[in-house]
């Protein structure tokens, strides 16, 4: 019997680990919405802008036009609003672009979000600028910091960061925030911008408990049958 239960647990673990998946991609090829991966039941919202556009200070800190999808060298990218704030604690740090992914399953499946990938570059010139990434799940009051990606080139380079303990149950939404700032060495009123592309959310599909139980019972039945044959 102990062996049977051991087999059941191993089978359940294998089912869980076999469902690693791409959840959604934002490639800005045709618009600002995301594309939900095949086999995933969810919605991927548009990239949006929010927050203040001006702040007091010396020199004056401002954000320019809203970020938007642009076609650059025949490829769609997300070009951020222009900004001249310096550092992640600057007065305009509340300004952000954001995207969201919602688990719309009704069968009890849970999406365990594991990582985020992106491409980022300076839209022009090589002065240092950065994007701070954070997230919040439905019902949470505060954002959780993920990573800061620094860029000093107009060539796209990849970046990735992992989530810890983020699970989306049916009806829950993960919102990811992107905030931008210049390097301290670029402390002037000149506005900068960044380009983002190929943003991906990865995760694991955890079947609902009833499905797991069915798999477990099947495994237990097989084990018992084999034992009787002996």
Report the candidate in 167, 160, 115 with the shortest Cα–Cα distance to residue 140. Answer: 167
Q: For Cα atoms 178, 164, 196, give the angle at the middle one, nearest 5 degrees.
A: 25
- Whether 228 is in a domain gets the answer no
Q: Quick one: average pLDDT of 164-174?
A: 97
CA 41 to chain centre: 16
For residue 120, what are the β-bridge partners? 157, 196
- Whether 7 is in a domain gets the answer no
- The predicted pLDDT at position 153 comes to 96
Distant-in-sequence, close-in-space partners of 223: CB < 8 Å, separation ≥ 6: 3, 4, 7, 8
Which contiguous run of DSSP H or E holds residue 209?
helix 209-229
Mean of per-residue pLDDT scores for the chain: 84
The CATH number given to whatever domain includes residue 73 is 2.60.120.260
Report the candidate in 180, 195, 196 with the shortest Cα–Cα distance to residue 84. Answer: 180
Q: What is the 3-state secondary structure (H, E, C) of 6-32?
A: HHHHHHHHHHHHCCEEEEEEECCCCCC
Instruction: Locate 170 and state its tokens.
Output: 């049916």
- Whether 219 is in a domain gets the answer no
Q: Which own/partner contact pairs does 68-76 have at CB distance under 8 Å and 24+ positions apart? A: 68/32, 69/28, 69/31, 69/32, 70/195, 72/195, 75/29, 75/197, 76/27, 76/28, 76/29, 76/30, 76/197
pLDDT tens readout for residues 103-156: 999 999 999 999 999 999 999 999 999 999 999 999 999 999 999 999 999 999
CA 52 to chain centre: 23
Most confident range (mean pLDDT) of 52-56, 81-85, 96-100 is 96-100
- Whether 10 is in a domain gets the answer no
Q: How far apart are alpha carbons 179 and 93 in whole angstroms?
A: 7
Q: What's the domain range around 71?
A: 20-206
- Percentage of the chain exceeding pLDDT 70: 79
Q: Which residue has the higher pLDDT, 221 or 90?
A: 90
pLDDT-based confidence at residue 14 (cuts at 50, 70, 90): very low
- The predicted pLDDT at position 41 comes to 96
- pTM: predicted TM-score of the whole model, two decimal places: 0.82
- Whether 230 is in a domain gets the answer no
Buried b / exposed e over 197-213, threshold 16 CB at 10 Å, is: bbbbbbbbbbbeeeebe
- The predicted pLDDT at position 19 comes to 66
pLDDT-based confidence at residue 217 (cuts at 50, 70, 90): very low
- Whether 217 is in a domain gets the answer no
For residue 177, CA distances in Å to 18, 34, 153 come to: 29, 15, 22
- Whether 229 is in a domain gets the answer no
Q: Quick one: average pLDDT of 29-55?
A: 92
pLDDT tens readout for residues 57-81: 666 777 777 889 999 888 899 999 8
- Whether 66 is in a domain gets the answer yes
Tally of domains within the chain: 1
pLDDT-based confidence at residue 229 (cuts at 50, 70, 90): low
CA 204 to chain centre: 13
If one counts every other C-beta atom within 10 angstroms of the C-beta of residue 53, the result is: 15
């Amino acid at each position: 019997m102990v062996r049977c239960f051991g087999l059941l647990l191993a089978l359940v673990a294998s089912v869980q680990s076999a469902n690693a998946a791409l959840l959604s991609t934002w490639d800005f090829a045709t618009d600002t919405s995301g594309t939900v991966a095949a086999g995933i039941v969810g919605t991927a919202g548009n990239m949006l802008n929010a927050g203040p556009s001006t702040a007091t200070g010396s020199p004056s800190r401002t954000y320019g036009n809203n970020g938007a999808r642009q076609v650059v060298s025949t490829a769609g990218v997300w070009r951020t609003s222009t900004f001249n704030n310096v550092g992640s604690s600057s007065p305009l740090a509340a300004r952000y672009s954001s995207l969201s992914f919602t688990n719309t399953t009704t069968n009890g499946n849970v999406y365990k979000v594991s990582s985020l990938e992106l491409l980022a570059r300076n839209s022009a010139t090589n002065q240092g600028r950065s994007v701070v990434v954070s997230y919040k799940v439905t019902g949470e009051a505060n954002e959780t910091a993920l990573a800061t990606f620094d860029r000093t080139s107009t060539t796209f380079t990849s970046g990735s960061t992992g989530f810890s303990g983020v699970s989306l149950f049916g009806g829950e939404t993960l919102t990811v925030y992107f905030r931008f700032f210049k390097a301290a060495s670029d402390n002037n009123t000149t506005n900068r911008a960044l380009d983002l592309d190929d943003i991906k959310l990865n995760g694991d599909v955890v079947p609902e408990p009833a499905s797991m139980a069915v798999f477990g019972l099947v495994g237990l039945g097989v084990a018992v049958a084999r034992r009787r044959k002996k």
